[in-house]
A = this chain, B = another copy of it.
C-alpha cells in the first residue's frame, strides 16, 4: 500500500479501512449461531446489541445470578424463559440445542471455570479478556476446549476493528520504515466499590483490565513477542481504594527486532487509550485506540500526512467479533484470536507482575 496524496480524505479513509474488516464468506444457509451470554454486566450489553447487528448470529440463552434482570433482557432479545440459566444450573445448557456457543463476560477470575464448564457442555467459547488470571488457568482452558473439540476465541476487539487493522497494515507495508519505539497507555480513574478492585474477582489491577490493550497492541503492531520485560507498580492511594490491587503499572518491553515499547496503565487517573509508533521514516498514532468507537488515526511518514477519523460505531466491534466466531463455527475454521493468543498475553502479564514484585 502506498500513499501518494498528501491529504487523505475522510471518504477515502473509510473506503480503505473497510478493506480490513474481516470478510465473511457467503452466508451459510444453516441456522444462525446461537449464543448464551454468561454475565449480564455492562460489556454484555454491548455484545447483545452487537449480535443483533450480525446476519449470522443470535442470542439464544442468558446466564445470570439475577433472574429478574435476565427475564427483562430475555424479552428484549426473544430468549425463551426456559433458556435462562443460573450459575448453579448452568451445566444443563449442554442439553440446549439452540446454544452453539457461550460468551463469557464474567469477572476475570471466573473466566476459566465457565470456559471449562462450557467446553464440557460441548459449547464453543468466546471469552472476554483477560483470558484468565493465571497462566495455569489459561492452559487449562485451552486444553478443555481442545478435549471437547470446541473453538475458543478471546474477545480481542481490536483484532477485528478496521482502524487498528489499518494501522497494522500501514506498518507491515513498511510505511514507517524500521520501527524503533512504541508508546501506549490506557487507564481510568476507577469508582470505589467496583469488582475490579477486588483481587479475588479481578486477579490484579489495571494491567489485567486495560493495560492488556497496550500490551496486546504492541504485539499486534510489531507482530513480535517481547523478549525482555521490566515493570514498576505503585499505589499512591489518595483515598483508600487500593488495598487489594495496584493503582499504576509502568512497563517496558524489548522485542527481538530491537523495538522498545513503554506502556502505562492506571486505575488512579484517566489515560485515554492510545498508541504511538515511531519508525525511521515517520510516526503513526491511534488516539483513541481502544474505545468501543471513535478510533482516530494520525500519521506522518515520508511526506504523507494522514488524519483519519474511523467510521466504526458502538457496538460494531462486538458485532465483528460475533460475526467472526460464528463464521469460524459455521465453516470449521480457526479464530484469528484463539486461546493461544490469550495465553501469550497471560505469560507476559505474569512477567510484568513478577518484575514489579507483585504476586498474582
> Taking beta carbons and an 8 Å cutoff, which residues of A are in contact with B?
177-178, 180-181, 183, 185, 187, 189, 228, 230-238, 247-254, 257-264, 266, 268-271, 278-280, 282-283, 355
Whether the pair A180, B252 counts as a contact (CB closer than 8 A) is: no
6 interchain pairs (CB within 8 A)? A178-B236, A178-B238, A180-B268, A180-B269, A189-B280, A262-B264
Whether the pair B231, A264 counts as a contact (CB closer than 8 A) is: no
- Other than the given A187-B278, A230-B252, A268-B280, 11 more pairs (CB < 8 A) read A180-B247, A180-B266, A180-B269, A185-B278, A230-B230, A230-B355, A232-B260, A250-B260, A250-B261, A260-B264, A270-B282
> For residue A259, which residues in chain B have a CB less than 8 angstroms away from its CB?
234, 236
Residue from B178, B251, B254, B266 in contact with A252 in the complex, judged by beta carbons closer than 8 Å: B251
> For residue A183, which residues in chain B have a CB less than 8 angstroms away from its CB?
183, 185, 262, 264
Whether the pair A181, B266 counts as a contact (CB closer than 8 A) is: yes
Residue from B228, B258, B269, B283 in contact with A248 in the complex, judged by beta carbons closer than 8 Å: B258
Interface of A is mostly: strand
> For residue A177, which residues in chain B have a CB less than 8 angstroms away from its CB?
238
- Chain B CB within 10 A, most for which of A231, A236, A251, A271: A236
- Chain B CB within 10 A, most for which of A189, A231, A248, A262: A262
> For residue A232, which residues in chain B have a CB less than 8 angstroms away from its CB?
228, 230, 252-254, 260
Residue from B247, B270, B278 in contact with A270 in the complex, judged by beta carbons closer than 8 Å: B278
* A264 to B280 alpha-carbon distance, docked (Å): 15
5 tightest Cβ-Cβ pairs between the two chains A and B: A250-B260, A262-B262, A234-B258, A236-B258, A269-B278
Residue from B228, B230, B264 in contact with A181 in the complex, judged by beta carbons closer than 8 Å: B264
Q: In the complex where A181-B264, A236-B180, A238-B177 touch, is A279 in contact with B269 (Cβ < 8 A)? A: yes
Q: Smallest CB-CB separation from A250: which chain B residue?
A: B260
Residue from B249, B262, B264, B282 in contact with A250 in the complex, judged by beta carbons closer than 8 Å: B262
* A279 to B262 alpha-carbon distance, docked (Å): 19
Q: Smallest CB-CB separation from A233: which chain B residue?
A: B260
> For residue A258, which residues in chain B have a CB less than 8 angstroms away from its CB?
234-237, 247-248
